[in-house]
Amino acid sequence: MTSWIAIAPVLVAIVTGTVALLVRNWPRLQRAIAVSGTVVYAAVVGYLSWRVVFAADAGGILYQLGGLEAPFGIVLVADELSAFMLAITAIVAVYAVVFSVQFIDEQNQRVYYYPLFQFLLLGATGATLTGDLFNLFVWFEVMLMASYVFVAFYGNAQHTAAAVRYVVLNIVGSALMLLGIGGLYATTGTLNMADMAVQLSAPGAVTEPVVGLSALVFVTFSLKAGLAPFQFWVPSAYRAAPLPIVAVFAGATKKVGIYAIIRLYFTVFGDADVSATVPAVAGDTALAFLAPALLLMGLASILVGGFGAVSRDSLEELLAYSSIGQIGFIAVAVGIAAATTAGELRHLGIFAALIFALHHAVSKGLLFLSTGVIQDIAGTTKLSELGGLGDRSPVFASVFLVGGLSLVGIPPLAGFFGKLFVFDAATRQFAAATGDTTATAAAVLTLGVLFLGAVLTILYATRAWIETFWGSQSEAIRAGVVHDGQIAVLATLALVVLAIGVGFEPVYQFADAASDAALDTDGYIEIVGLGGETG
């Protein structure tokens, strides 16, 4: 099915961004346009999701840029997986922009804040929708360019230093991605992802180079996702960027890295027979080579993030490290899916990763925005200078509590289902490994680290809660002004976190369809219109 609706989110973001740029001399108008543009974006994503997943004639939607057919033209593909990621992005974006209006001071809002916000959104949207590998690179650059400026946004010593490191790292990452893409083009003779899947599974195709080349692309994706050992840019960048943007970084742009891994490895390389001789790794698909690397990186992220978060002394850094750990949970779920050959467990792994990604986006978004509120009240986020905020604003305390409990995984909040399915996948992996010593050891290690990660989460969430809200009121808290408007916005987000947990049925259906789509290579090829030609 070809329809313009697949490109609509991209158009909304680009038009809003450009118009916001044109009206920069009228701050109020600019603000109104930015907020309403983001709401329209969310509405369009909602409609797209309905058309793709829930409607009677639901199915993936294709848009051919310039009317050129794949594999020659660039296509945008909105399938269930893309729609799910877009839905996550849309929720976070709406809250971030509404919160920005109240949080970012007037002077700073005038420094291209809203146009950049829209371009960040544009990059994330394009990367999720594109069906062309080089086009994915371009969307990544669009997203990165906006994020560079946001990291350097406040422009002081700390921010510029963080931005320099972030920029250097990501430009090197982009060069690596180009190497991978160039190599894949030379190997398969195409850049279209669906066509690539067709070429790789064609009889007699040369596939050995794919193992190494996809590793180069994988490095770039995990750099974007902030997986250990590529996590070191995360804390300083998160500390430097404005807090509503950090919510978008943690909620949306990091997830684009995870999305790209799932899309490329499961949808495109999934079925292809790729064999190469790599020491210590046996396997004949790209996924078999991905699995050990991704599992180890995920487990390392959980440990680095968990221990890092426990030992930080400011709320922002604590949450930044927590983000690294939580991305680790997602990566482990994807890794489990890659390691197994059983269809059911693979489906469960992807499903768990998607549910966890949604939970992390809303819960962590809520916590980062709450940190913004605390920053506004106390002028600092240092835990030692906070305390007694529960007395000042009980409503805000309960909002923060919802975010914290969701992070820990208390039912019926969103985080409960995230953790549940990740642990479910890990225990099933353990159950499936009976008789195989290496596999059992790996499964036990995975379960052990997941458990440790969950304990560490409880530890740092409790610490953040106690030091900020309990005890006697600190100097900074007593003198501060509580902004009711900001808290009202966050209260609705807390309700969203609750609603995802309570009304889980449609979310389940959506994520289930998305994981089906992630694993259905033939379906993806079908949508792009290449089915039955060579495959």
Partner 1 sequence: MTLAVAATVGALFALGTFLLLRDDLVKVVWGLAIISQAANVYLIGMGGIVEGTSETVPVLATHHAPFPETVDPVVQALVLTAIVISFGMTAFALTLSYRAYQENESINVTEWKQ
Which of 22, 55, 168, 466 contacts partner 1 by CB under 8 A?
168
Report, in Å, the least distance between residue 135 CB and partner 1.
9
Residue 196 touching partner 1 (CB under 8 A): no
What ranges make up the beta strands (E) of 416-466?
Answer: none
The three-class DSSP label of residue 523 is helix
Residue 186 touching partner 1 (CB under 8 A): yes
Q: Which is closer to partner 1, CB of 51 or CB of 224?
A: 224
Residue 134 touching partner 1 (CB under 8 A): yes
Which of 111, 167, 459, 498 contacts partner 1 by CB under 8 A?
167
The token duo for 160 is 């510029």
Residue 65 touching partner 1 (CB under 8 A): no
State how far the Cα of 497 lies from the Cα of 480, in Å rounded to an integer. 28
Report, in Å, the least distance between residue 138 CB and partner 1.
6
Q: Which residue bears the tokens 């992005």?
A: 89
Amino acid at 474: S
Q: At what angle do helices 80-103 and 113-129 cross, to 10 degrees?
A: 170
- Beta 61-64 vs 75-78: how paired, if at all? antiparallel
Residue 111 touching partner 1 (CB under 8 A): no
Q: At CA 481, angle to CA 475 and CA 483, rounded to 5?
A: 140
Residue 191 touching partner 1 (CB under 8 A): yes
Report, in Å, the least distance between residue 2 CB and partner 1.
24
Which of 103, 148, 266, 321 contacts partner 1 by CB under 8 A?
148
Residue 178 touching partner 1 (CB under 8 A): yes
Q: Which is closer to partner 1, CB of 134 or CB of 430?
A: 134
Which of 22, 55, 171, 495 contacts partner 1 by CB under 8 A?
171
The three-class DSSP label of residue 72 is coil
Q: Going residue by residue from 221 to 240, which x/- string records binding to partner 1, judged by CB under 8 A? A: ---------------x----
Report, in Å, the least distance between residue 176 CB and partner 1.
8
Q: Going residue by residue from 400 to 439, which x/- string records binding to partner 1, judged by CB under 8 A? A: ----------------------------------------
CB burial readout 379-411, b (16+ within 10 A) else e:
ebbbbebbbebbebbeebbebbbbbbbbbbbbe
Ordered alpha helix ranges (H), 23-132: 27-49, 80-103, 106-109, 113-129
Residue 466 touching partner 1 (CB under 8 A): no
How far out from the chain centre does Cα 445 lie?
A: 25
Residue 206 touching partner 1 (CB under 8 A): no
Residue 282 touching partner 1 (CB under 8 A): no
State how far the Cα of 90 lies from the Cα of 39, in Å rounded to an integer. 8
Which of 163, 211, 227, 338 contacts partner 1 by CB under 8 A?
163
Q: Which is closer to partner 1, CB of 8 or CB of 144?
A: 144
Residue 175 touching partner 1 (CB under 8 A): yes
State how far the Cα of 489 lies from the Cα of 102, in Å rounded to an integer. 10
Q: At CA 79, angle to CA 77 and CA 80, rounded to 5?
A: 155
Which of 22, 68, 161, 342 contacts partner 1 by CB under 8 A?
161
Q: At CA 438, angle to CA 436 and CA 444, rounded to 5?
A: 100
- How many Å is the Cα radius of gyration of the chain? 22
Which residues are CB-contacts of 23 (< 8 A; sequence separation ≥ 6)? 29, 30, 33
Report, in Å, the least distance between residue 210 CB and partner 1.
14
Report, in Å, the least distance between residue 175 CB and partner 1.
4
Q: Which is closer to partner 1, CB of 12 or CB of 76?
A: 76
203 φ, ψ to 5°? -65, 140
Which of 69, 141, 522, 526 contacts partner 1 by CB under 8 A?
141
Report, in Å, the least distance between residue 320 CB and partner 1.
15
Neighbour-count burial of 472, counting CB atoms closer than 10 A to its CB (0-12 exposed, 13-18 middle, 19+ buried): exposed
Ordered alpha helix ranges (H), 262-342: 286-311, 315-339
State how far the Cα of 68 lies from the Cα of 71, in Å rounded to an integer. 9
Q: Which is closer to partner 1, CB of 51 or CB of 239?
A: 239
Report, in Å, the least distance between residue 148 CB and partner 1.
6
Which of 124, 127, 152, 315 contacts partner 1 by CB under 8 A?
152
Q: Which is closer to partner 1, CB of 169 or CB of 499?
A: 169
Residue 138 touching partner 1 (CB under 8 A): yes
State how far the Cα of 321 lies from the Cα of 306, in Å rounded to an integer. 7
Binding residues for partner 1 (CB under 8 A): 134, 138, 141, 145, 148-149, 152, 155-158, 160-164, 167-168, 171-172, 174-175, 178-179, 181-183, 185-186, 191, 236
